[in-house]
Structure 1
Amino acid sequence: MSVARSISLTQAAISKASIANIRGVGIDLVHVPRIAALLSRKPAYLAKFTRRVLHENEYNRAVSMIENRERHNLFIARCWSIKEALFKSLDESRQSGFQMRDWNTIHASSPKPIVSGGLIRNDEDFFVSVTHDGEYVLAAVIRGQSDNPCDNKRKLL
């Protein structure tokens, strides 16, 4: 078998295995100074905003880094961006019930973002990737249908 034929077969296998199972894609770009401006308002607003946006685990982590404003703002921008991308990956019917605070993007077992909570169905997988450069955070989420409905793992890119 030629190398070209081998590559072609591999690409076909990848297409059948992954593209057919994609149910939604979301991408979000956040300008960190915008989040910093929101967070620099009155302390009462900061508490209200973070409670509305952050899951309890994320909130506790954000509180632990409040002394380092730059790190704190970047963390909240990261959570916001992932959740916005996640929202965009959902069907319209599920977007109407979306609450940012219901979704958790951090876990002690992994430094990479893993989506949990919210309205995750047993037959869904969420692939999450996030990056930041300077004043910007970019998150991408791919929502796929699991081949095994009993397999409720969250996958990472």
Structure 2
Amino acid sequence: MSHIIGVGVDLLHLPRFAALLNRKSPERLAKYILSSSEHQAFAATYQEETRTALLGVQFCDLQLIPPEQRSIFYFLATRWTAKEAAYKALSPRYRLAWHEVTIAKDGRRPCLLLDAQCKLAANVSAAHLSISHDGDYAVAVVTFEGQTKSNLT
């Protein structure tokens, strides 16, 4: 039988995240927060011409960001907020590291994957993720389920 072991919510103010991208490059932030498979997807999107186009771009008015740069912005922002929500859902049971969680897609739906050691250490049997963004905000909700150990006597 499974039970909920944690629920986490994170609300991200996108202009604040844009300011973070202005202080650090998207490339530096990606190395810090992305898992290896996420970083491969990021690198495939973040080509040299995009890298050059992003130099000097101010991520302050999200509507003025060109589409190719906007996709990179949302790629990083949604992973940031989903991983923050996951961290909150497992805290204080387990201290989640950025690279232990991967945000992927299952068809059109986002899904959250934990690495095997983390899953075992935190006793997670299932993870549920919902992400949304509108205007200046992105929100993520994460729920983790764990298995109840049955007492056979």
| TM-score under structure 2 length normalisation | 0.70
Aligned to 2:140: 139
**SS of corresponding position for 2:23:** coil
State the 4+ residue runs in structure 1 displaced beyond 6 angstroms: none
Distance 1:42 1:100 in 2: 17
Distance 2:6 2:24 in 1: 37
Contact 2:89–2:142 (CA under 8 A) maintained in structure 1:
yes
RMSD: 2.6
Structure 1 unaligned spans of 5+ = 1-16, 149-157
Q: Deviations over 1:14-69 (max 9, x none)?
A: xxx8xx711111000111222222222354xx433211101122222223334322
| Residue type at the aligned position of 1:92 | P
Distance 1:54 1:138 in 2: 18
CA shift, 1:124, in A, is 1.7
| Residue type at the aligned position of 2:86 | L
Contact 2:124–2:144 (CA under 8 A) maintained in structure 1:
no
Identity of aligned residues (%): 27
| TM-score under structure 1 length normalisation | 0.68
Contact 1:57–1:106 (CA under 8 A) maintained in structure 2:
no
Contact 2:129–2:143 (CA under 8 A) maintained in structure 1:
yes
Aligned to 1:9: none
Match of 1:100 among 98, 101, 104: 98
Structure 1 residues 133 and 23: alpha-carbon distance in aligned structure 2, compared to 1, 3 A threshold? same
Is 1:115 matched with 2:97?
A: no
